[in-house]
Structure 1
Amino acid sequence: MRIGTLGNGLMAEALASGWVAAGHDVMVGGRSAERAAAVAGRVGAAAGSFAEAAVYGEVVLLAVPAEVAVSVAGVVPEGKTLIDCSNALDHRDFTLAQDSVAESIGAAVAPGVRVVKAFNLAADAVWRNPPAGLGVPLCGDDGVEQVAELVRDLGCTPVAAGGLRHAKLLEATAALAIGIWVRGGDVRGMFPPLADAFGTVLPGES
């Protein structure tokens, strides 16, 4: 699969490295040609501008700060799958700085661009060497299976988390989890096995 990254920071480098290792063709895109080339050289990818990477990739990773994500996403042409991994956090109290980055992107991109929220629950260090089987929630109305393939290629497990309107919940989960980690808590201890949490009947079933 051809993958373009809009961004050449830590997240883009970590995910691109894993996808190159899995045999995908990647182009790292950035505003700075020099920085994009440096990152591409480290991971074994091609380098280009934002526009070139957006055209190159069948799937495009949007890995820029949340405050510029909507404007950068505008370069993605119709027919692509766009992965949004951003979190719009207010670091003063670890709340969301806006309602939903992914939905805002979905409303702003060209018709036919398939927006999927993914990879926002862990920092770049995790994606450089992800634990085998790590669950990666995906929110999207279309294009989810393409992204699920890329999740599996990192040795992780895709988790269907609903349509794009659920992305706000995934973003809120990231804000909550990051706030707990910063305060010294252990997020992993919050979720018991399903049978212990709900018995043999899921919420809403009878």
Structure 2
Amino acid sequence: MKIGILGTGGMAAALGGAWTVAGHEVVIGGRSQGRAEQTARRIGAAGHGSLVDAAGHGDAVLVAVPAAEAPQLVGSLAGSLAGRTVMDCTNSLVPTSDGLMLNTGGTTSVARQLAGAAPGAHVVKVFNLCHVSIWTLRPPTFEGVPLAVPYCADHAEAAAATETLISSIGCTPAPCGGLARAAYLEAAAALAIGLWWAGQQPRTAFPLPAEAPPR
């Protein structure tokens, strides 16, 4: 699959690298051509260029820029993104005295904002729950179980493309409904990251139903 990546930072390199290893054709796009070239060379991507180049490259586009910048950027590229699967891995989080909070207020999501900025794009909320280091694992497997990757999508073809990209790096797709539920994924990230920062393990709060005693 052809994948354009908007951004040159950690998530762009980690996911782009995983997809490159899986055999996908990745193009890194950035405001700085030097950084785009550096990231592309580091992960063995097929190429690099401007943000416009990456937006128009292929079947799917990953938005890997700061959440505060994402809606305006996607809006400026709306024409190039029309009809494409646009994957939003951002988290709009701010530290407060009460812990991490959502800049969106929890009533909407960054994914919804991107969909509003580029109405012709097929936005998917995905890849936002794990630390960047997890995506560098080949594959991300824990206690013998592949990592589950939740996602929210309104468009069937975009959901299918996202599942292909999740499966190709050794993970298990976990559909969580449409974009109306994307705010829940973003809130889950705030909760999980807050627990990690406090030295806790979020997964211990979710035992398997099969492990409960019989009634």
What TM-score, normalized to structure 1? 0.92
- Runs of 5+ unmatched residues, structure 1: 201-206
Displacement, 1:186? 1.0
Aligned to 2:167: 152
Residue 96 in 1 paired to residue 102 in 2? yes
Task: Name the CA distance, whole Å, in 2 between partners of 1:77 and 1:88.
Answer: 22
Displacement, 1:91? 1.8
CA contact (8 A) 1:141 1:163 kept: yes
Residue 125 in 1 paired to residue 133 in 2? yes
Alignment of 1:76-115 (within 5 A): 76-92=80-96, 93-98=99-104, 99-111=108-120, 113-115=121-123
**In structure 1, the residue corresponding to 2:177 is in which secondary structure?**
coil
Task: Name the CA distance, whole Å, in 2 between partners of 1:8 and 1:103.
Answer: 23
The runs of 4+ residues in structure 1 deviating greater than 4 Å are 196-200
What is the total number of aligned residue pairs between the two structures? 199
Aligned to 1:185: 200
- Residue-by-residue CA offset, 1:144-194 (whole Å, 9 max, x unaligned): 110111001110000011101100000000000011111111101011113
Displacement, 1:110? 3.6
| Code of the aligned partner of 1:138 | Y
Residue 67 in 1 paired to residue 68 in 2? yes
Which deviates further from its counterpart, 48-57 or 122-131? Answer: 122-131
User: Relative to structure 1, is the Cα distance of residues 135 and 105 closer, same or farther in structure 2, using a 3 angstrom cutoff?
Assistant: same
Task: Name the CA distance, whole Å, in 2 between partners of 1:186 and 1:135.
Answer: 16
- Percent identity over the alignment? 44
Displacement, 1:57? 2.1
Which of 172, 184, 191 matches 1:169? 184
Aligned to 2:15: 15
CA contact (8 A) 1:77 1:110 kept: no
- Runs of 5+ unmatched residues, structure 2: none
Displacement, 1:198? 11
**In structure 1, the residue corresponding to 2:8 is in which secondary structure?**
coil
Which of 151, 171, 182 matches 1:138? 151
